Structure 1
Amino acid sequence: MSHDSSETETEPTGSRRVSEQVSRDGPAPYVPAGRSVAELTIKAVVTGLGLNVVLLTANMYLGMRSGMTISASIPAAVLSMGLFYGLRRVSVGGTILENNIVQTMTSAGEALAAGVIFTIAGVTFLDQQIDIAGTAAVAALGGFLGILFMIPMRRYLIVDKHEELPYPEGTACADVLEAGDRGAEGVKLISLGFVVSSLYMWLANGMAVFTTTIQTAFSAGETRGFAIGGDFTPALVGVGYIIGPRIAGYVFGGGLLAWMMLIPLLITGGFVPESAAGAPLMAQADAVWDQYIRYVGAGSMIVGGFYAILSMRETIVDALGTAVDELRSSAAAATDKRRRTQRDLSMKLVVIGAVLIGFSLVALPQVQVGLVGGFVAVVAAFLFVAVSAYLVGVVGSSSNPVSGMAVATVLIAALLLKSNGVTDPVVVLVTASIVAIAAAVAGDTSQDLKTGYLLGATPRKQQIAQGIGIALSALFAGWVLSFFHQAYGIGGETIPAPQAGMMALISEGVLTGTAQWGMILIGAVFAAVLILMNVPVLPFAVGIYLPITLATPIFLGGLLRGGIDSYTARNDDGDGTREEYTTYRGRIIAAGLITGEAVMGIVVGALYILEIGAPTGPPFPVGISGETRAILGVVAVVALLSFVTASILRNMPETADSAETAEP
């Protein structure tokens, strides 16, 4: 995509970042502060709203299926560039800052989806129906809190901590947008991944040509209940590829601990729930995981969440100090007197908005968490917004442990509300939902603001765009959640919604006194050991909580990423050309795999609801036997991995070394 005249005069990305042109506010932005470039336009807003709904839906499906969501910023940026590239043919086009507004609005839907599915979806585990209006109200209030509380933290986290906090997705998104001439290639890549993933899942779930799930349970000597397996789908492999081998390895390590150590110990020791006592070994393992192991994961997440807050104490204090300073600032230092690239929404809006939201939490009939619940929600939201914004600066939005923060909030809220006579676990979930959504949105907002900081965007316009995106996402969130519940049943095999189930489990257990405090304590102690060993707690805890069938394909994707990165490093001449090439292509293809499976999940779900095809199982089965389907499933996984590898490495640029050493 070409830039307008004001943009083409700026220095190229590479030379800008290598050079030492650094102002008092950090590196010189791509679009200088003194230039006026089209930014928050009707065209950008309409495009952003359309993509917002699509990726909101896709991430809600993915999150309830795998327990993890993926940042939508880069796919949105690529799609936006492709669309604007097409519009340029009819003399419409778009600027780089308009593209930035599009990805900002689009990623708002992904962020809000994470908070909703990790908490509000938990009401289905408590035999409650999805309240569409209530979901919209909670989602909007939590989302606006996340945006508001990020305003006083922006300068500290994004500008002052520029070198310390890289914000990987935000920086990568800026690189993608700056490399506008790669827009057409990016659209082709994400479309290729989308088509392959959609076809893969249609053959598996629409026609039952092959099975994606391969698992087994076995005994070793007198020890029973070892379980291993995987649900090898494109989305899960894509998740693993994006988060990389390190984080994927921690998730898989938690899964191995649960399914190859703790569950066998409990089954052999006779701790099998009575309802599964005579069932096959795999069913016994599933029952033990559901009854005991999930509490171990919950305990680990609780300690991990509190440890994250403790690690962030200086950031939280600094953010509070920044807010006070801005409220006391003189007119000469007011927002409208600052340079364009440093203008935020006013601190008065932050204070008034937070007060109004707190009042709404108590007064709105669709919410009504009470005075204690409202106080807990607002205070915890501010704390976890700081935690979330800092953590995504280190590990990225895709690895943001929103669920761990929600667990800590559920525990605190349940204990406080119980002491005030509250007995309804739904009230606890709604309180935690506000916090989880605020934390998720804050993490996304901070990534988007990092992108804008590098590009030279106006923070205030990005914050307004984020608010518009949150408003639309909130309106659709309840409908989408209700759709998936009708189509598949939240908590079922297709969309187990692990975090939502855990939230419901903890909130109900604390209020009724039936919580597995012993298992929670085991998880907490294990987390403390990990902290002493300097091992990230939350990815490991997620692995303990997830079914092994989800952790394994995520690890497989991470291994694929590690293998390609290693191959690239061995064949690079040190200038980073090949590494940049494979990193870009890999992330975009993986995003296409995730989006394709999510969209096909919507299609198959719609067929169920409309009663088209077979009433149970795949809508149009072709009648292949189970054993043959399993063999074809292995073939399909190998073909999928081969496709991803070949697509990433295809037409890799030659390096100087490889050119010199190549055989004639």
Structure 2
Amino acid sequence: MAPDRGESPDYQSISTPPSTSRPAEGSGSTAELRRRRSDARRFIASHASEGQNFTVRGILVGLGVGLVICFSNMYFGLQTGWISSMSMPASLIGFAFFKTLARHLDLPFTPVENVLVQSVAGSMGTMPLGCGLVGVMPALNYMLKPEEQGPIILSLWKLILWSLGLCFFGVVFAVPLRRQVIIREKLKFPSGTATALMIGVLHGKEATVDGPISQTTSRDSSVQEEGTESFSDIDERTADVEESGKSQTSSWQSKVRLLIISFAISGLYTLATYFFPILRNLPVFGFTLAKSWLWTLNPSLAYVGQGIIMGPATTTHMLIGAVVGWGILSPLAKRRGWAPGPVDDWETGSKGWIVWVSLGIMLADSVVSLGNIAITPLIMHPGHYLADLRSIITSRNWKSFLRLRSAKTGGNYAPLREEVSTPLEETRLSSQEYPALSEEEIKALPEPDAPPEHLVSDRTVWIGLVLSILFCIASIRVVFGALVPFYAIIIAVFMALILSIMGVRALGETDLNPVSGISKLAQLFFAIIVPQSNKNSVIINLVAGAVSEAGALQAGDLMQDLKTGHLLGAAPNAQFWGGVIGSAVGAVVSALIYRLYTSVYEVPGDLFEVPTGYVWIKTAELVTGKGLPMMAWQWATGAAIIFTFSTVVRIMGTGKRWHPFIPGGIAVAVGMYNVPSFTLARAIGGLVNWYWRSYRQKEETLIVVLASGLVLGEGVMSIVNLLLASASVPHL
């Protein structure tokens, strides 16, 4: 997955346009807060009960969009390790599909059904990474040495079983975390919020981070007070509605048109690269640098699109990693004799040598960043957590462990009644419900939640969690047999649950799900508990890391979707079951796509170098004490020390103007272990993003749609290239 998107826009500043109506006499800020909470309660209750929350047509369209994303993510994942859930384009494609068929639909396509389509598509599309098929599995299949009990080639049914075993427990575990991070703490989840805003605009509604607000629920206080309205006002309002409808139609049509055009251009370029392979590696710095030091440019429009999505800060940090790794360390290691083999050799060349330095950076960044997320709340507010923990132990109500009270919010969540009352009744009830609360206390209250019948029941969560964990343990045991002992599988699963909490919190606060760092922490932990004398230590290490990565990825992705759904009033249980269906289908499809690509193309090879596979295997060798190249340990340690301090500075500078100028460890490491051709293309995309958003001060949505079309165009057209390669069509 993309390590970062750079500086995300401050979505907390996005809100509905201020009302032009005059406030009712005697209304104060406290009354206004109560009214807004009542609006939010009514909005969620009305939309959560819509029949379109969970539909067969929504599931099928979501699976269709997810299939496209799945192919795309497998293609790019095997090339560089990057994947994306494509939430915004999935929402737009689903909207365009149903909008085109609007005349033939018995029921209208609503925002909550749009959320379902996006949730299914996203959960299915991320399975190539969630099932370890772009990193761990290639490492086991092609990079594991005989002395490490490798290589391990799985049959198709075992590959599918492995994928299914990893795809459920993270989805189920996200549900009990939802109430804490979305309802109580109100974490912003920037991508989820942005997707909600786009869906709201497409359907003529608006959502804010302060709560779901519908245009239809906003009321003119002067009308409420006087009860009358002139015909001229009605005519003006009707004209405004008609004009707004035309504007919305034009908006979504222009976005779809942009998506199609960028998709087509990128697809045609991808087809051209099959017949002219030189287009993938242009020697823009001269033939000497290209041949001797691998400095080429891959002008792939998809990688430019990835750079646009990541943003200028992240792509700049990647470029720094490429310059340091391939421009300084690679020649140094070659000339000093530390990496005597060919530069592009992963075992004896500088290409493999600099991976060790990137691993040191990744481990340092992961430990500091995730440690900060885990420890900071305990340091800042120890009394709250100790009191809750003492209460849980005393009452033995262990399921409340996932709902430890946050210091940000003082009470429980605000459930909705089954019946929705009138606006005046809601306002009166709100006043009665919190009669003695001040304005500040009302502000601190958690957001209203969906009605109980639209939440996932505790019974479903705990039964599902137990069954998914048991299925994961059983599937790994069947696939690997005695190579991975039971105790290691059990520890890996429960460690994955703990690390998933850290990943979800990081995603909610920074829009970054540090799954790569989480997997490295798991590998580091298993290097401690599994003795180096165990001949299966590398396999155990890889499997444990894959389980942790899967749990964190799935929990984080579903939480983004749940944030989107909450802002738009979608039923959480519909999203949950949509996520389960998408994950299950995605696991099977991803296994089939992986087998298809690896049977047609050489892996690792020119097209699919699978750098993340080497990162996985070398991390396992590093932490299990295997032999390292000359001077690799010293340089990796030095880099880890430097980025330990830089990560601390970066954390301290969160929200400050100079924060983007402090290199992020993960981004720098990615720039090191990927060849420069991909990083240069991403840097171009980051520059385009900067020009559009910072220089021209334009909205991000259009450029994200453009970038998504570029990425999907190459991902889908890669299927055509796959067919051409399987038919042995010659290159020109």
Once the two structures are TM-superposed, the CA of residue 206 in structure 1 deviates from its matched residue by 2.9
Structure 2 residue aligned with 1:657 = none
1:14–1:226 Cα change, 3 Å: closer
Preserved CA contact (<8 Å) 1:305 1:405: yes
Amino acid at match of 1:563: Y
Q: Distance in 2 between matches of 1:215 and 1:245?
A: 22
Q: Distance in 1 between matches of 2:36 and 2:590?
A: 41
Q: Distance in 1 between matches of 2:614 and 2:526?
A: 17
Structure 2 residue aligned with 1:624 = none
- Greater shift, 198-207 or 348-357, is seen at 348-357
Match of 1:360, SS state, is helix
Structure 2 residue aligned with 1:168 = 190
Structure 2 residue aligned with 1:155 = 179
Structure 1 residue aligned with 2:616 = 503
1:102 aligns to 2:117 (yes or no): yes
Match of 2:295, SS state, is strand
* Higher Rg of the two aligned structures: 2
Match of 1:229, SS state, is coil
1:146 aligns to 2:137 (yes or no): no
Structure 2 residue aligned with 1:384 = 499
1:432–1:200 Cα change, 3 Å: same
1:85–1:408 Cα change, 3 Å: same
> What are the equivalent positions in structure 2 for 1:181-196 lying under 5 Å apart?
181=248, 182-196=251-265
1:482 aligns to 2:595 (yes or no): yes
Amino acid at match of 1:81: F
Q: Distance in 2 between matches of 1:24 and 1:137?
A: 48
Unmatched segments (≥5 aa) in structure 1 = 1-12, 277-281, 570-578, 622-664
Q: Distance in 2 between matches of 1:347 and 1:519?
A: 50
Preserved CA contact (<8 Å) 2:515 2:549: yes
Q: Distance in 1 between matches of 2:38 and 2:175?
A: 18
Once the two structures are TM-superposed, the CA of residue 285 in structure 1 deviates from its matched residue by 10
Once the two structures are TM-superposed, the CA of residue 114 in structure 1 deviates from its matched residue by 2.2
Q: % of aligned pairs identical?
A: 25
Q: Distance in 1 between matches of 2:510 and 2:416?
A: 33
Once the two structures are TM-superposed, the CA of residue 100 in structure 1 deviates from its matched residue by 0.5
Once the two structures are TM-superposed, the CA of residue 149 in structure 1 deviates from its matched residue by 1.9
1:356 aligns to 2:373 (yes or no): no
1:366 aligns to 2:464 (yes or no): no
Q: Distance in 1 between matches of 2:520 and 2:312?
A: 26
Alignment equivalent of 1:593, drawn from 702, 710, 715:
710
Once the two structures are TM-superposed, the CA of residue 423 in structure 1 deviates from its matched residue by 1.6
Once the two structures are TM-superposed, the CA of residue 192 in structure 1 deviates from its matched residue by 0.8
Q: Distance in 2 between matches of 1:529 and 1:326?
A: 33
Structure 2 residue aligned with 1:231 = 298
* Deviations, residues 109-143 of structure 1 (Å, cap 9, x unaligned): 23222232232232232243354333333333333
Match of 1:495, SS state, is coil
Alignment equivalent of 1:203, drawn from 262, 267, 272:
272
Unmatched segments (≥5 aa) in structure 2 = 1-12, 20-31, 145-150, 203-247, 379-384, 405-411, 419-448, 651-661
Structure 1 residue aligned with 2:457 = 346
Q: Distance in 1 between matches of 2:487 and 2:401?
A: 29
Amino acid at match of 1:53: L
Structure 2 residue aligned with 1:267 = 334
Structure 2 residue aligned with 1:33 = 45
Q: Distance in 2 between matches of 1:367 and 1:283?
A: 32
Structure 2 residue aligned with 1:405 = 518
Normalising by the residue count of structure 2, what TM-score does the alignment of the two structures yield?
Answer: 0.72
Alignment equivalent of 1:62, drawn from 63, 76, 95:
76
1:77–1:327 Cα change, 3 Å: closer
Preserved CA contact (<8 Å) 2:196 2:564: yes
Structure 1 residue aligned with 2:282 = 213
Structure 1 residue aligned with 2:436 = none
Alignment equivalent of 2:199, drawn from 164, 170, 177:
177
Once the two structures are TM-superposed, the CA of residue 25 in structure 1 deviates from its matched residue by 7.4
Once the two structures are TM-superposed, the CA of residue 209 in structure 1 deviates from its matched residue by 7.8
Question: In the comparison of the two structures, how many residue pairs are matched?
Answer: 577
Q: Distance in 2 between matches of 1:556 and 1:98?
A: 36
Q: Distance in 1 between matches of 2:619 and 2:171?
A: 28
Amino acid at match of 2:61: T
Q: Distance in 1 between matches of 2:571 and 2:533?
A: 45
Structure 2 residue aligned with 1:120 = 137
Preserved CA contact (<8 Å) 1:315 1:386: no
Structure 1 residue aligned with 2:363 = 302
Preserved CA contact (<8 Å) 1:142 1:437: yes
Preserved CA contact (<8 Å) 1:238 1:554: yes
Once the two structures are TM-superposed, the CA of residue 420 in structure 1 deviates from its matched residue by 8.1
Alignment equivalent of 2:96, drawn from 56, 73, 82:
82
Match of 1:213, SS state, is coil
Preserved CA contact (<8 Å) 1:301 1:408: no
Q: Distance in 2 between matches of 1:565 and 1:327?
A: 39
Amino acid at match of 2:666: L
Match of 1:302, SS state, is helix
Structure 1 residue aligned with 2:439 = none
Amino acid at match of 1:360: F
> What are the equivalent positions in structure 2 for 1:530-541 lying under 5 Å apart?
530-534=646-650, 535=662, 536-541=664-669
- Greater shift, 598-607 or 501-510, is seen at 501-510
Structure 1 residue aligned with 2:726 = 609
Amino acid at match of 1:565: R
Structure 2 residue aligned with 1:429 = 542
Amino acid at match of 2:685: G
1:490–1:438 Cα change, 3 Å: farther
Amino acid at match of 1:49: L
> What are the equivalent positions in structure 2 for 1:452-471 lying under 5 Å apart?
452-471=565-584
Structure 2 residue aligned with 1:637 = none
* Deviations, residues 349-399 of structure 1 (Å, cap 9, x unaligned): 444434334433443312553222222322221122122212222443xx5
Q: Distance in 2 between matches of 1:586 and 1:217?
A: 32
1:174–1:27 Cα change, 3 Å: farther
> What are the equivalent positions in structure 2 for 1:563-582 lying under 5 Å apart?
563-569=691-697, 579-580=698-699
1:132–1:305 Cα change, 3 Å: farther
Amino acid at match of 1:173: T
Amino acid at match of 2:351: D
Once the two structures are TM-superposed, the CA of residue 515 in structure 1 deviates from its matched residue by 4.4
Q: Distance in 2 between matches of 1:437 and 1:137?
A: 14
Preserved CA contact (<8 Å) 2:120 2:578: yes
Alignment equivalent of 1:44, drawn from 52, 58, 77:
58
Structure 2 residue aligned with 1:629 = none
Once the two structures are TM-superposed, the CA of residue 155 in structure 1 deviates from its matched residue by 1.9
CA RMSD of aligned residues (A): 3.4
Once the two structures are TM-superposed, the CA of residue 56 in structure 1 deviates from its matched residue by 1.1
Amino acid at match of 2:593: V
Once the two structures are TM-superposed, the CA of residue 418 in structure 1 deviates from its matched residue by 3.5
Amino acid at match of 2:171: I
Preserved CA contact (<8 Å) 2:532 2:625: no
1:111 aligns to 2:126 (yes or no): yes
